[in-house]
Amino acid sequence: MIHRVVTLNLQERRFLEQQQENYEKSMKRLADQHREKVALLEKQFLQQKHQLLRAREAAIWELEERQLHEKHQLAKRQLKDLFFLKRHQMLNRHEKVRNNSAVRVSLHFPPSLRNSC
């Protein structure tokens, strides 16, 4: 009987040790799976975050590029308008000088010669 109790205690101890070992393996496996799942979620989050940051930067870049283009177009149009205005003023001045000189010429010449000028 003592032998049988010792055998049961030995069997129980082996059983409990095996249970403990199985429990530890299962916990380690679950912890590893959980760690991998968390790492995967973090990776996905970072990829999404970087994608959003890249999209934001691209939008800002496009906006700045459009603004620079518009600024260039405005400067070009202003320069064109300035040259047109200067040309118009020069033509008016030239016309005025021509008219004034024609009046002066007509005053200096007798009426018979005025038509030939």
**Residue 11 CB neighbours (<10 A):** 10
Task: Render pLDDT for 12-52 as a digit per residue (tens, 0 to 9).
Answer: 889 999 999 999 999 999 999 999 999 999 999 999 999 99
The DSSP code sequence of 76-114 is HHHHHHHHHHHHHHHHHHHHHHHHHHHHHHHHHS-HHHH
Q: What is the pTM of this model?
A: 0.53
Boundaries of every domain in the chain: 2-105
